[in-house]
């Protein structure tokens, strides 16, 4: 992940505490944040809002052939998670016995290293989820 510093910095708030936004016109929540509400368009009134830190697994897969930088973590689980406010996000599942990673499993957010720019570069931190 070369030259990733601006990306790491720009996305730190949303990765650290699930900071998304919500449209005050139609009450739709978004993660990641959107500039314009897809329903209200010009009438969008988006304000920052932290997403709930709990949800449930709605689908998952196990990655055996990991992309560059993630080889040492394979095999690992990726899941689509429906947060308690209905917003769906993609996240790695960690610290959970494989038999407990099932559709419908309750999960909560944890704080982990997401990737690092080699051994000398910056470390990107952010959310992952674990089965409760």
Q: How far is the CB of 17 from other proteins (least distance, A)?
A: 6
Q: How far is the CB of 38 from other proteins (least distance, A)?
A: 27
**Closer by beta carbon to other proteins, 85 or else 121:** 121
**Closer by beta carbon to other proteins, 27 or else 119:** 119
**Closer by beta carbon to other proteins, 82 or else 116:** 116
Q: How far is the CB of 98 from other proteins (least distance, A)?
A: 11
Site residues (vs other proteins, CB under 8 A): 12-13, 16-17, 50, 72-73, 94-95, 97, 110-114, 123, 125, 128
- Residue 91 buriedness (CB in 10 A; 0-12 / 13-18 / 19+): buried
Residues with Cβ < 8 Å from 124, sequence gap 6 or more? 1, 4, 7, 8, 12, 15, 113, 114, 115, 116, 117
**Closer by beta carbon to other proteins, 27 or else 72:** 72
Q: How far is the CB of 46 from other proteins (least distance, A)?
A: 18
Distances (CA, A) of 129 to 3, 26, 72, 83, 89: 27, 29, 19, 11, 11
Q: Output phi, psi for 72, to 5 deg.
A: -75, -10
């Amino acid at each position: 992940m070369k030259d990733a510093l601006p990306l790491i910095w720009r996305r730190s708030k949303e990765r650290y505490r699930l900071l998304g936004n919500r449209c005050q016109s139609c009450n739709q929540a978004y993660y990641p944040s959107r500039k314009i509400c897809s329903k209200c368009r010009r009438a969008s009134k988006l304000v920052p809002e932290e997403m709930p830190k709990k949800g449930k697994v709605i689908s998952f897969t196990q990655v055996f052939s990991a992309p560059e930088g993630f080889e040492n973590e394979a095999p690992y689980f990726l899941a689509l998670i429906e947060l308690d406010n209905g917003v769906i996000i993609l996240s790695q599942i960690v610290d959970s016995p494989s038999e407990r990673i099932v559709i419908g499993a309750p999960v909560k957010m944890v704080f982990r290293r997401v990737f690092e720019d080699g051994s000398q570069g910056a470390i990107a931190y952010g959310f992952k989820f674990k089965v409760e």
